[in-house]
Structure 1
């Protein structure tokens, strides 16, 4: 571990004496880590973090008191207001509504990530003039009311409809229109009961969506196992309910000269590596030695 990483790890160590925290705030990496993750920062330390230019990291910290968070929500730098918008509670009352009126669309987009967002503000963001703001709602607002969902499933902007179908199940009465729309047909195929029509769709992405459907009947599974598209066949090979004999036969056909297809095939079953274990807590003597090595 390099020196910056060691200092960053020390900056979030629990039970760290206050004098050591103060010294760590002089180091930019340690300061940002402490600002973002420490629960025990004093108001004086928070003021120092702001003065040293790490207000954005502090705005990420869910343990920052409402008085500080309210100040950060009015910070002149949009990235700081973005961080505050994503994590602030409505203290003082009306803070989230002020953020919903922020002139910077990205701030309003980050507000869509806020787990404290009330229904009335979801409704307001669903009517936001910027389509990027509207398209962020489906990804983050899993508890959005039906009125908000319907508004976004029928939005005039294709990217918003695509985001809605990617993250929410549509009302049944809207599904035919979403299937008929070329821009939402792939997403709608993932939400629709598998059918022979969809399994024979001219778009291989639609057929791939059917091949991955959890309720795929065996007859359609066998049909798609013969699909001319290698990525569709790969979806069938990856299914837990595909018979071993069929899976082995498909595996022999999963080759391509197309670099993009080869990349997708190699990552279809990709799993992120397990995170590295947290470094051991340093003793006071070890922490002093590390700070001395860093000139702090």
Structure 2
């Protein structure tokens, strides 16, 4: 491992001596790691990090005192406001509402990630004029009020409608329209009765959704087992109620054209293998820290 990469590890070490930390702050990578992750930054060190140019990383550190983080809400750089928006609390009251009205849509998009955001502000963001903000609400918010769910499922942006149909169970009265909409039909299949018409849909995503439906009939299962699309056949192979002989035949006939496609197929069947986690490096001693700093010229 090169020295630059090695410096980021001790920068977050709990028992790091203060003088070693101050020397590490002179290295950009180590400084960003310390700014983002350390929970013991003093006012003096915070000011030094800001002066050295790592305000964005510092703004994303949820362990800083509220009095410090409020400064970042007023920062002229929207990237800094994005960083603080994702985790700041409403202290003093009104901070979250202020961010919800930020002129930069990226700040409001990051605000949707904030677990402290009250439902009324999330509802306001769900009606944002920018689809980038509305889409982030869909990603973050599942227990939406019916009025917000309906609004998003009938959005004018097809990508928003599609994401909403994938995220939210649709009200029964909206289901026919979602099934008729090419953008939402595949996602809406999960809430419909599987039919021969859906199983023969020209969109392979719709047929794949039918293949995964819990109420799929044996006849439709056998029909989709012969589908020309390998992802549809793979969905049949992934079913718990597919006979072992049929499953083995389907898996043997899959011909993914890349390692990624092969992994996606195996993931659907639950037979994939994840890489082992990276080993946790032991904390450095004072002597090891000094040696590393010397190698880096710090």
In the alignment, which residue of structure 2 is the partner of 1:268?
265
Per the TM alignment, residue 14 of structure 1 is displaced from its structure 2 partner at its CA by: 1.5
In the alignment, which residue of structure 1 is the partner of 2:38?
38
Distance 1:46 1:252, change over 3 A: same
Q: Encode CA deviations 1:216-253: one digit per residue, 9 max, x unaligned.
A: 44443222111122221122223344222111211232
Distance 2:45 2:191 in 1: 50
In the alignment, which residue of structure 2 is the partner of 1:280?
282
Name the Cα RMSD after superposition. Answer: 2.0
Whether contact under 8 Å (2:186, 2:205) holds in the other structure is: yes
TM-score, length-normalised on structure 2? 0.91
Gaps of 5+ in 2: 268-272
Per the TM alignment, residue 67 of structure 1 is displaced from its structure 2 partner at its CA by: 1.5
Per the TM alignment, residue 274 of structure 1 is displaced from its structure 2 partner at its CA by: 2.9
- The farther-off stretch of 67-76 and 27-36 is 67-76
Distance 1:266 1:76 in 2: 44
In the alignment, which residue of structure 1 is the partner of 2:270?
none
Distance 1:34 1:131, change over 3 A: same
Whether contact under 8 Å (1:237, 1:247) holds in the other structure is: yes
Whether contact under 8 Å (1:136, 1:163) holds in the other structure is: no
Matching of residues 212-223 of structure 1 within 5 Å: 212-223=212-223
In the alignment, which residue of structure 2 is the partner of 1:50?
50
Distance 1:151 1:230 in 2: 35
Distance 1:179 1:265, change over 3 A: farther
Distance 1:92 1:161 in 2: 36
Per the TM alignment, residue 263 of structure 1 is displaced from its structure 2 partner at its CA by: 5.0
In the alignment, which residue of structure 2 is the partner of 1:82?
82
Whether contact under 8 Å (2:224, 2:233) holds in the other structure is: yes
Number of equivalenced pairs = 293
Distance 2:285 2:84 in 1: 34
Distance 1:159 1:144 in 2: 18
Matching of residues 200-279 of structure 1 within 5 Å: 200-255=200-255, 259=257, 263-270=260-267, 271-279=273-281
TM-score, length-normalised on structure 1? 0.91
SS in 1 for 2:121: helix
